[in-house]
Amino acid sequence: MLKIACVVDDDVNIFELGVAAEVFGIDRSDRGIPRNDFRVVTPTPGPVRVSGGLGLPVMVDQDLSFADEADVVIVAPYESCSTDVECSLPVARAVQRAVERGARVLTMCTGAFVAARAGVLDGRRVATHWMHADELAAQFPQLTVERDALWVDDGPITSSAGTAAAIDAALHIVREMQGAQVASTIARSMVVPPLRDGGQSQFAVGPVAEQRAETLAPLIDWIVEHLDEEHSVAALARRANLSERTFARRFREELGATPTAWLTSQRVQRAQQLLEATDLGLDAVAQQAGFSAAALLRHHFTRQLGVSPSAYRRRFACPEPASA
């Protein structure tokens, strides 16, 4: 059971607060998903205003003390995040303590300003809403703002861009701490893709870039259904009725990667699913994922995820229930 503290303050954005509660707070143990100890905390317990002119306060009865024992500290955006230094200082100190003791921190949208004031983003890459990117970069020149990213993972800090990007970042945290199978199950229940591409590569796990495919969408669907087969660029170009040069150019334009790199990423993701949900041997996993040998699977799996297939299985094995 993970301890998750979601920090809010007056004029909190209700959408991002809802994302945190939806991803981490709902009990899905009937589907084999581990429960979390999810709590909403605030510097001063009591009614907390929500943004958007709704006039509906959220009653928060816990102060920031739970954040000091949480495995993950989430900073939900609130209107004074980017402007009111004094208002965000208690939260900034809680974020600083979390990083010092080895916890994960997730900032949503303008929550990145709070983490920046805590000093934990110095020298790191960070994402925020595109409307606030210039302001964040101007206030904190010691960090690097990734303006095109849906989310950025740099050390213990994960930061998301605005609004719906909070879903992507939250699912990334789940994927890293509880496994791809758990993240995929949560994503399915939310009717969202488990991993979206976002303007730049997210190297922790290869993105499901087919969400962006346009003219190549039918080909992408076919490849995903035939990952266990051998695919050359020339053969894929013929299937798309394009020259190799045009195919390679259009593939990069639509999916943000070369055909070879994208295919390898998809095969690693398939291997993750098989390692988590089946007891197949490594040779069989390699074959079904489209790698010619277990050694090739180990190479690409470890290169992309930083952990061997065997270690990944020991940590995240979670066979799907028969009713899945």
Amino acid, single-letter form, for residue 158: T
Amino acid, single-letter form, for residue 44: T
Average pLDDT over residues 224-242: 94
Question: What pLDDT is stored for residue 149 in this prediction?
Answer: 82
Question: What pLDDT is stored for residue 211 in this prediction?
Answer: 42
Question: What pLDDT is stored for residue 86 in this prediction?
Answer: 66
Binning pLDDT at 50, 70 and 90, where does residue 212 land? low
Binning pLDDT at 50, 70 and 90, where does residue 245 land? very high
Binning pLDDT at 50, 70 and 90, where does residue 324 land? very low
Using the predicted structure, report yes or no on whether residue 296 has a pLDDT greater than 70: yes
Using the predicted structure, report yes or no on whether residue 305 has a pLDDT greater than 90: no
* Longest CA span, the chain: 64
The pair of structure tokens assigned to 143 is 């960090």
Contacts of 104 (CB under 8 A, 6+ apart): 71, 72, 73, 98, 156, 158, 173, 177
Using the predicted structure, report yes or no on whether residue 207 has a pLDDT greater than 60: no
Residue 292: its H or E element: none
Q: How many CB atoms lie within 10 A of CB 185?
A: 21
| Higher pLDDT among residues 196 and 302, named by residue | 302
Q: Which domains does the chain have, with CATH numbers?
A: 3-190 (3.40.50.880), 209-316 (1.10.10.60)
Residue 208 C-alpha from the chain's centroid: 12
Contacts of 186 (CB under 8 A, 6+ apart): 23, 28, 33, 171, 174
Question: What pLDDT is stored for residue 160 in this prediction?
Answer: 94
DSSP 203-231: TTS---GGGG-STTHHHHHHHHHTTTS--
Residue 212 C-alpha from the chain's centroid: 17
- In three-state form (DSSP H/G/I as H, E/B as E, the rest C), the secondary structure along 139-193 is HCCCCEECCCCCEEEECCEEEECCCCHHHHHHHHHHHHHHCHHHHHHHHHHHCCC
pLDDT 10s digits, 130-152: 889 889 999 999 999 988 788 99
Residues 317 and 276: beta-carbon distance below 8 Å: yes
Q: Using CA atoms, how far apart are residues 150 and 160, in angstroms rounded to an integer?
A: 6
Binning pLDDT at 50, 70 and 90, where does residue 85 land? low
Going by C-alpha positions, the residue among 202, 82, 81 that lies closest to residue 152 is: 202
Q: Three-state DSSP class for 108?
A: strand
Residues 144 and 157: beta-carbon distance below 8 Å: no
pLDDT 10s digits, 89-135: 899 999 999 999 999 999 999 999 999 999 999 999 999 988 898 89
